[in-house]
Structure 1
Amino acid sequence: MVWRSAGVSWRDGVPGLRWDGGRAGSRVSALGYGRVIGFRAVGERRCPGARGNVCPLGALVGGRSTGGRCAECARLDRAHSVAADTLLDDPRPYRVYLAWFGPGLVKVGITREERGDARLLEQGAVAFSWLGRGPLMAARRTEEVLRHALAVPDRIPYARKRAVRTALPPAAEREGEVAELYARAVGVGAWAETLERLECEVHDHVAAFRLDGLPPLDASVVELVPDGVVAGRLLAAAGPDLHLLDRDGRHLALDTRLLSGWGIESAPAGLPVSVPLGFGDGQEQLF
C-alpha cells in the first residue's frame, strides 16, 4: 500500500499529516513535538487532481512545485476558491483578520467564521486579531480597502516567514505591534456598512507552533526525489512547514506542500537526509 500526502492539517490547534490511500481511504497522523519521524518518496510525482476529482491526465508534476498540481487542475482549484471571487452567493458569515508573521510581515485576509483560527494556523500566522465579521462580499471589500490603506500584501512567501521564526520578539512586542496595526485599521474609512467591527484581541500561536527556543535554520528541503529520505526529530510546525533536527544536528525546514503527489513510505528515522537542500547563501547540495 502506497500512501500519498495531502499536507498538514490543523485541528483544535494541533498539527497532523493527512494521507490519501486511494481505495483504502484517508487518515491523519498526529504530529507530536519531539517525535522522530522518517519517510521516503517513491515512484513519480503526479498531480493529485482538484476538488475531489482525480487528475484526468495523470500529469507529472515538477518536484519544486509547492502547488503540486498540473496547470488544468490548478485552474479548477483556484476557480472554486474564495480568493477568486466566484462564490458571490455564499450565505455563510466571514471574518476579516489581521495576521502577523514576524516584524514587518503582516497581511489582511478573510476566512469563513465557522473555521475559527484554522486558516491562520494553516498560513503560519504567529499572531493575529479579528477585525470584523459579516457577509462574504462585505468582508472582501473591507479586506481590499484595508490592504491598500495599510500598504500590506495579499500574501507573504513562506520563505520569508521561515526566515524570521527563529528570532521572534517577545510576546509583549508581538501583541503591541498587532494592536498598533489594529488601531490603524479601524481608523481607515470606507469599511463595508454591513461588516460588524470586532474588538482587538491578540491571539498568539507561538505555543501551538512550538517556536520558543527554535534554533537558527540551517537549510530547507528544496524538493523530494525518488527514494529520497527525509528524517529527523520534530522541533516545531507552522502552517505547512515542519521543522526537523536531523541526525547530524542540522535544523531543516520541510514545506509539506512538496509532498503532494508523491507516494510516501515510512523509513527508519535514523537514516541521513538524502534530498536536495537549499541554504541561505543560495547554494544547494544533495546529501
Structure 2
Amino acid sequence: MWRSGGVGWDGDRPVLRWWGGRTSPLGYGRPLAFRAVGGRACAGARGNPCPVAAAVPGRSTGGLCPACTRLDRAHSVAADTFTDDPRPYRVYLAWFGPGTVKAGITGEHRGSARLLEQGAVAFCWLGRGPLMAARRTEEVLRRALGVPDRVPYERKRLLRPGLPDAGARAAELGELHARALAVGGWSETLEALPFVPYDHGDAFGLAGLPPLDGTVTGLVDGGVVTGRLIAAAGPDLHLSDPAGRHLVLDGRLLGGWGLERGGDDAWSVPIGAVPGEGSGGSEQEGLF
C-alpha cells in the first residue's frame, strides 16, 4: 500500500507526495480519482517513524499524533526553539487577495518554496540577514504596516476566484514595500532588498477559477474522491467533481492515508459548506 505524504511543490509544479520520498506530478485539466484505504497513520516526526504507529483522526490537518507533533516542534524556528541557525533568512510580504497581505520570514536556502507552500499568489522580498534580526524586523514591519503574520486558509480559498490581474497584485505589494522601507531602524541590522514582484497565478492555475461550492472536511476509510484538477495553491487542490461543483481538498488531509487508484465510483467523502466572509477558520501551522 502506498501512503500519502500530502501535497507538495516541485519547483512551480504541484505533486502528490508519498511516504519514502516518491512524488507523483499533478496536472491541471487532468482527472484525479482515488480511494482512501487502510486507515490513517501518523507519519512520524523529523524523518523518524511514529514509535507507536498511532492512528490519526481523518479531520486532522497536522497528520501527526500528539507525541510526534511535540517532537516535530521541539527543534523548530517557528516555535522559537531553534534560534541559533547561522544561515541567512529573508523577510517577505505575501499577497493572497485584495487587502490580504501578510509578513513572514523564511530561510534564504529555501528560495520561494515557502511562498508556494502557503499559497501566496504574489510576493516580494523586504530584507535579508541573521535569523533573530529577521524575526525582529518581521514584527516591526508587521505592526507598522498593519498586516498579520498568518492568514486563515478559508479566507485564502474564498479570495482565489475573481482575483485582479498580476499588475494590480504587484501594485499593492509595491505600495507596501515602499512603506516598509520608510519605517526607520530595521535596515541597520538587516539588508533591505529592492522591490521585485513575483507572481504564482500561472503556477497555481488560478485564471478563470469559478466560485467555490464546498470543501472536503476529511477523508474516510473507503471514501472516494473523483474529479478533474483545475488549480492548486499551497496544500489545496481545486477540483471540478462529476456534478460540476468546484470543491477544495486540503492536501494536508491526505497525509497518512493509503491511496488506491479510483474507478468510476461516485464521490463519497464529506463536504462542508463554504464559510462566510469574515470567518476565522484554521490558520497555517508554520511560518517557515
TM superposition score normalised by structure 2: 0.92
Q: Distance in 2 between matches of 1:51 and 1:36?
A: 33
- 1:72 is aligned, of 63, 67, 75, to 67
1:256-284 per-position Cα deviation (integer Å, ceiling 9, x unaligned): 1001121111112x4321000011268xx
Residue in structure 2 matched with residue 204 of structure 1 by the alignment: 199
Alpha-carbon deviation of 1:192? Answer: 5.6
Whether 1:175 and 2:174 are equivalent positions in the alignment is: no
CA contact (8 A) 1:246 1:272 kept: no
Alpha-carbon deviation of 1:170? Answer: 2.1
CA contact (8 A) 1:247 1:271 kept: no
1:142-194 per-position Cα deviation (integer Å, ceiling 9, x unaligned): 11111222222221111110011002112221111111111121122231623
Residue in structure 2 matched with residue 267 of structure 1 by the alignment: 262
Whether 1:108 and 2:107 are equivalent positions in the alignment is: no
Amino acid corresponding to residue 67 of structure 1 in structure 2: G
Paired residues in the alignment total: 276
Q: Distance in 2 between matches of 1:263 and 1:271?
A: 17
Whether 1:94 and 2:89 are equivalent positions in the alignment is: yes
Comparing 138-147 and 79-88, the one that deviates more: 79-88
Whether 1:19 and 2:9 are equivalent positions in the alignment is: no
Alignment map for 1:234-253 (pairs within 5 Å) = 234-253=229-248
Residue in structure 2 matched with residue 215 of structure 1 by the alignment: 210
CA contact (8 A) 2:36 2:260 kept: yes
Alpha-carbon deviation of 1:245? Answer: 0.8
Q: Distance in 2 between matches of 1:56 and 1:81?
A: 20
Q: Distance in 1 between matches of 2:74 and 2:136?
A: 19
Residue in structure 1 matched with residue 283 of structure 2 by the alignment: none
1:180-234 per-position Cα deviation (integer Å, ceiling 9, x unaligned): 1111211222316231100011111100001001111111111000100011111
* Identity among equivalent pairs (%): 67
Amino acid corresponding to residue 38 of structure 2 in structure 1: G
Residue in structure 2 matched with residue 285 of structure 1 by the alignment: none
Alpha-carbon deviation of 1:69? Answer: 1.2
Q: Distance in 1 between matches of 2:248 and 2:205?
A: 14
| Residue segments in structure 1 that go unaligned for 5+ positions in a row | 283-287
CA RMSD of aligned residues (A): 1.4
CA contact (8 A) 2:34 2:261 kept: yes
Q: Distance in 1 between matches of 2:255 and 2:275?
A: 27
Q: Residue 153 and residue 208 in structure 1: after superposition, are their counterparts in 2 closer, same or farther (change >3 A)?
A: same
Alpha-carbon deviation of 1:118? Answer: 0.7
1:120-156 per-position Cα deviation (integer Å, ceiling 9, x unaligned): 0000000000001111111111111112222222211
CA contact (8 A) 1:138 1:192 kept: no
Q: Distance in 2 between matches of 1:65 and 1:132?
A: 35
Residue in structure 2 matched with residue 163 of structure 1 by the alignment: 158
| Residue segments in structure 2 that go unaligned for 5+ positions in a row | 277-288
Q: Residue 107 and residue 56 in structure 1: after superposition, are their counterparts in 2 closer, same or farther (change >3 A)?
A: same
Alpha-carbon deviation of 1:60? Answer: 2.1
Q: Distance in 1 between matches of 2:52 and 2:141?
A: 41
After superposing on structure 2, the runs of 4+ consecutive aligned residues of structure 1 that deviate more than 6 Å are: none
Residue in structure 1 matched with residue 25 of structure 2 by the alignment: 30
Whether 1:276 and 2:275 are equivalent positions in the alignment is: no
Residue in structure 1 matched with residue 186 of structure 2 by the alignment: 191
Alpha-carbon deviation of 1:68? Answer: 1.4
TM superposition score normalised by structure 1: 0.92
- 2:43 is aligned, of 43, 48, 63, to 48
Q: Distance in 1 between matches of 2:185 and 2:80?
A: 20
